[in-house]
């Protein structure tokens, strides 16, 4: 059996920045610091930061007065920002800059007098944050079917923005439906969807050409990780989402000659290593990296932590 690792895989620049933000805040201000929502969708990362003194909460009401508070990489609504201000909580914003870019794009379109359509998954933290950042008429759609149900006149000026972790293909289909139904549509290019999402999806498509089975390392609540597994399935391959090496089932690879392994943008490389070791225990294997794009993107830490 051969094991081929996707390239790129795992942590993206936004996730690295978010984790570094929490660690730097702990160094600068001391434990505990409070983080609203999971900083990224990965239990291993969250537990590691908890051990260093981070405290994760879902609501700001759980944060003691005066405690340093960090907003997660997914972003938050203005309501949450205003609540923090009203309580005079010292806050640090770890929102991924590419999510902030979506917020800014949406505001520009609304300022132009356009009705905004946001393509995303209802209930996802990034979606809730974005919906709460943009004033004006705004509609959430998840599918082509949702586009057909929009209560908007066909000649109304509209614009769209997208959740950063969506499938490029699924987004392209929804955008095409918007252009079919409405006569005045503006929106960012497909390439403006998160670079890391696109790169990892492209890598899985390449991996599916040379593998018999695909294993994606990521959390069950990670949107981009779930989409990587779906892409493998769409290519006709048995594809599995695992948290780590303990989830590997020997039956999955019983008849496989080549197993492809990738990881979502919030999954650390240590978990990829665990999966590889679990596969090696089933059958000693040759491990190699698929040739692919080498990412060099990095984001600066929040200003509060640079001094």
In this prediction, residue 189 carries a pLDDT of 78
Rounded Cα–Cα distance for residues 155 and 231 (Å): 35
Q: Read off the DSSP letter of residue 3.
A: E
What backbone torsions phi and psi does residue 239 show, to the nearest 5 degrees? -135, 135
User: What is the SS3 assignment for 292?
Assistant: coil
In this prediction, residue 192 carries a pLDDT of 65
Rounded Cα–Cα distance for residues 89 and 66 (Å): 5
pLDDT tens digits, residue range 37-52? 999 989 999 999 999 9
Report the length, in residues, of the chain: 307
What the chain holds in terms of domains, given with CATH numbers, is 2-11+195-289 (3.40.1010.20), 13-96 (3.40.50.11270), 98-192 (3.40.1010.20)
Give yes or no: 234 in active site: no
In this prediction, residue 81 carries a pLDDT of 97
Tokens of 174: 């929804």
Q: Which of 152, 83, 89 is nearest to 117 (CA)?
A: 152
Contact 25, 68 (CB under 8 A): yes
What backbone torsions phi and psi does residue 264 show, to the nearest 5 degrees? -65, 170
Rounded Cα–Cα distance for residues 1 and 279 (Å): 9
pLDDT tens digits, residue range 53-75? 999 999 999 999 999 999 999 99
In this prediction, residue 223 carries a pLDDT of 87
Q: Read off the DSSP letter of residue 252.
A: G
pLDDT tens digits, residue range 109-147? 999 999 999 999 999 999 999 999 999 999 999 999 999
Considering the candidates 38, 81, 126, 274, report the single residue annotated as catalytic.
Answer: 126
In this prediction, residue 169 carries a pLDDT of 75
User: What is the SS3 assignment for 209?
Assistant: coil
Rounded Cα–Cα distance for residues 134 and 11 (Å): 28
User: What is the SS3 assignment for 160?
Assistant: strand
Rounded Cα–Cα distance for residues 66 and 185 (Å): 45
For each of the chain's 307 residues, which pLDDT tens digit applies? Answer: 999 999 999 999 999 999 999 999 999 999 999 999 999 989 999 999 999 999 999 999 999 999 999 999 999 999 999 999 999 999 999 999 999 999 999 999 999 999 999 999 999 999 999 999 999 999 999 999 999 999 999 999 999 999 988 877 778 899 999 999 999 999 987 766 788 889 999 999 999 999 999 999 999 989 899 999 999 999 999 999 999 999 999 999 999 999 999 999 999 999 999 999 999 999 999 999 999 999 999 999 999 998 7
Q: Note the helical H segments in 158-235.
A: 168-181, 195-208, 223-234
Single pTM value for the model: 0.91
Q: How many Cβ atoms from other residues are within 10 Å of residue 48's Cβ?
A: 16
Q: Which of 175, 203, 202 is nearest to 190 (CA)?
A: 175
């Amino acid at each position: 059996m051969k094991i081929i690792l996707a390239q790129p895989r795992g942590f993206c620049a936004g996730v690295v920045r978010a984790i570094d933000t929490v660690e730097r805040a702990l160094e600068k201000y001391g434990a505990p610091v409070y983080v609203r929502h999971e900083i990224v969708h990965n239990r291993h990362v969250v537990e590691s930061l908890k051990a260093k003194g981070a405290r994760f909460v879902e609501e700001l009401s759980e944060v003691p007065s005066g405690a340093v508070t960090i907003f997660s990489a997914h972003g938050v609504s203005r309501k949450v920002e205003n609540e923090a201000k009203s309580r005079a909580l010292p806050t640090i914003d770890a929102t991924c800059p590419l999510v902030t870019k979506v917020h800014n794009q949406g505001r520009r379109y609304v300022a132009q007098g356009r009705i905004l359509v946001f393509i995303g998954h209802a209930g996802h933290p990034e979606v809730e944050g974005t919906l709460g950042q943009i004033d004006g008429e705004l509609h959430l759609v998840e599918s082509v079917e949702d586009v057909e149900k929009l209560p908007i006149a066909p000649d109304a000026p509209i614009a769209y923005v997208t959740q950063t972790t969506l499938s490029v293909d699924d987004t392209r289909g929804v955008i095409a439906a918007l252009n079919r139904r409405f006569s005045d549509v503006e929106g960012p290019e497909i390439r403006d969807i998160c670079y890391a999402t696109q790169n990892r999806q492209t890598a899985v498509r390449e991996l599916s050409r040379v593998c018999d089975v695909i294993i994606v390392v990521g959390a069950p609540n990670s949107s981009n990780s779930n989409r990587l597994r779906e892409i493998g399935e769409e290519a006709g391959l048995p594809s599995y989402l695992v948290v780590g090496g303990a989830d590997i089932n020997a039956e999955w690879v019983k008849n496989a000659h080549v197993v492809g392994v990738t990881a979502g943008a919030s999954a650390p490389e240590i978990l990829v290593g665990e999966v590889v070791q679990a596969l090696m225990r089933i059958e000693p294997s040759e491990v190699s990296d698929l040739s692919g794009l080498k990412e060099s993107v990095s984001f600066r830490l929040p200003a509060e932590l640079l001094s």
